[in-house]
Amino acid sequence: MTSRIRMSIILLLMPVMLSAQSYLELAELADKAIAEGDWSGAETNLLEAISLRPEDPTNILLLSNLGIVQYNLGKDSMALASLDQAHRRAPKSVTVLLNRAEVLTAIGRDDEAYRDYTTVIGLDSTLTEPRYMHAIMSLRRGDFNTSLADCKALERMSPASEEANTAFGSYYSATEQWDKALPYYTALLEKQPTTHIYGARAVCYLMLQRLNEASADINSGLALDPKDGELYMYRAYLNKMRFEIDAARDDLRKAIELGIDRRRAMEVLPATD
């Protein structure tokens, strides 16, 4: 009798044991697929793992990953549904909130993303990524006081970091404190020159009437990427300030060819034809 009972217990437990093993294997396969950029494979494995143990607490992480995977597959609505489900199960999960904020930002739902970043900061004030995003999004909203507070927090948490320098440079540019923005852009360029930061510093020099330095930055940026339309627009503005109108028109035509909105270009110089 005893042996039969033991055998029955083992037989009853076998599906559970096999299910647990399959769940872990599927989760591992999903991780591997994500690392390889195989989003379809990752989605399949994650959905299968979740279906095996729908009430497992570990599914919070799987659902969070699933949301990012589905976003990368272009399934925005499904991605948000997965992340919303994960958030309902774990409303204080910073990982879930950050993933959802990332997706919301990417699809242009900034107000909702901003709320998620605000929540994350309230849950963990030591994280630099959400603080940086909060600083930049506060600028877009015209909330300069909040943005400056975020910049100062970033400087305390991670002095001279890329996030702190970018946030401060953006803040001082947005508030037209061009001279104060310069050192932050210079620090960024010393670590990693990019066309975007060369352009940002060039704008500061233009606004300060430091035309030779602006020209040098524009040329350095174009050396990195000759197809950067923003830089051609800045050079058009520079040439206008130098009264080189024909050169300015040529640069604006080039900027428009490279994707700059014609209405923006016309603000620099009305007649480009």
Instruction: Say how many domains are in the chain.
Output: 1
Whether 80 maps to a domain, the answer reads no
Q: Crossing angle, helix 178-191 and helix 195-207, to 10 degrees?
A: 150
- pLDDT for 271: 57
Whether 232 maps to a domain, the answer reads yes
Residue ranges in the chain assigned as alpha helix (H): 2-35, 39-52, 59-72, 76-89, 94-106, 110-123, 128-140, 144-157, 162-174, 178-191, 195-207, 211-224, 229-241, 245-257, 262-268
List all residues 6 or more positions away from 88 whose beta carbon is below 8 Å from its beta carbon: none
Q: Which amino acid is at 21?
A: Q
Task: For residue 241, give its domain range.
Answer: 193-273
- As given in the structure block, the two tokens for residue 140 are 């877009």
Asked if pLDDT for residue 240 goes beyond 50, the answer is yes
The domain that holds 215 is classified in CATH as 1.25.40.10
Confidence of residue 202 (pLDDT cuts 50, 70, 90): very high
Over the stretch 87-143, which tens digit does the pLDDT of each residue have?
A: 999 999 999 999 999 999 999 999 999 999 999 999 999 999 999 999 999 999 999
124 contacts 133 by C-beta, under 8 angstroms: no
- As given in the structure block, the two tokens for residue 252 are 């604006």
Whether 37 maps to a domain, the answer reads no
